[in-house]
Amino acid sequence: MIEVQHLAKRYGEKTAVADLTFTVRPGVVTGFLGPNGAGKSTTMRMIMGLDRPTSGTALVNGKRYAEHRAPLREVGALLEARALHPGRTARAHLASLAATAGLPASRVEEVLDLAGITSVADRRVGGFSLGMGQRLGVATALLGDPATVVLDEPVNGLDPDGVLWIRTLTRRLAAEGRTVFLSSHLMSEMAQTAEHLIVVGRGRLLSDSSTAAFIEHAGGESVRVRSPRATELTGLLAADGVTVTSAQTGLLDVRGLDAATIGDRALAAGIAVHELTVVRPSLEDAFMTLTRDEREYRTDEEIAA
């Protein structure tokens, strides 16, 4: 479990994180979403005890990171800008960490296997591709078999196989009852991986909800209806709780009725329907709507819109 309470971080004049409060629970994959510069990495570094909060607290499994006697066994992290000894092999890197933390050497082989890098374990990490480096980072995070796992942009640099691997791995870790917290700015990927989302913008909490509720909140489903008698159909469908809009002649966007009901009513009235499509907002749409005013960097067109 991760408990963040009124967490804030300022760098001089710059507020990276402002009064963030949220809880990451075990058993589900929780995504940490936000535009560039929203404060995700800073928050994760404070959770991992690498940055001191200006105010507030970040607890992992009930304690501050530094208060744990065996932190590697409590929480493992993949953070950006890892300092790796380039001349060391992946196996030697993991072995030295395992030795320092009092973990058995057999665990090194287990995590190499988990990360799919056993075949390159004796290569120097300086020659690793970005994707191999990410896999080694995940192996490092899992070394202490921790109850809580924090991954900052884990799919960064991974090929489609690697992306699928992260998705399967994080889901499995959560199913084992672990707390899994991963950041990304890739909405579509997050929609498929995370069941719960914490969304931040300019260091502030924008949303803390299930992924399904987040998408629902962004407008929910609508039904696109194409008919040569669209105006008549509008009159037929209009009722309390139903909104019908038309952006184009012959085309309706209906909210508050399901596709089957619309089709049945049109049939009963003898009105031809040429298209009946359920339109779901993507996580991308939901995210863009929510963070439009919260992004640090926007194009002139976006600002003018």
Ligand X SMILES: Nc1ncnc2c1ncn2[C@@H]1O[C@H](COP(=O)(O)OP(=O)(O)OP(=O)(O)O)[C@@H](O)[C@H]1O
Q: Which residues bind ligand X (CB under 6 A)?
A: 11, 14, 16, 34, 36-42, 185, 296
Which is closer to ligand X, CB of 74 or CB of 152? 152
- Least distance to ligand X from the beta carbon of 157, Å? 14
In the complex, least distance from residue 260 CB atom to ligand X, rounded to whole angstroms? 42
CB of 163 to ligand X, least distance (A): 17
CB of 51 to ligand X, least distance (A): 8
245's enclosing H/E stretch is strand 243-248
User: Closest CB to ligand X among 42 and 61?
Assistant: 42
The CB density around residue 48, as the number of other CB atoms within 10 Å, is: 19
The residue among 10 and 68 lying less far from ligand X, judged by its C-beta, is 10
Residues in the chain: 305
Strand locations in 158-250, DSSP E?
179-184, 196-201, 204-210, 222-226, 243-248
- Of the pair 37, 56, the CB lying nearest ligand X is at 37
Residue whose CB is less far from ligand X, 36 or 299 = 36
Complex with ligand X: residue 196 or 202, whichever CB lies closer? 202
Q: Strands of 179-184's sheet, edge to edge?
A: 75-78, 148-152, 179-184, 29-33, 196-201, 204-210
Q: In angstroms, give the least distance from the CB of 115 to ligand X.
A: 23
Q: How far is the CB of 36 from ligand X (least distance, A)?
A: 4
Cα 86 to Cα 126: distance, rounded to the nearest angstrom: 4
Tokens of 124: 């120097």
The gap from C-alpha 185 to its chain's centroid, in whole angstroms, comes to 7
Query: Which residues 6+ apart lie within 8 Å of 61 measured at CB?
Result: 1, 68, 74, 75, 147, 148, 179
The H or E element spanning position 253 is strand 251-255
Do β-strands 204-210 and 75-78 pair in parallel, antiparallel, or remain unpaired? unpaired
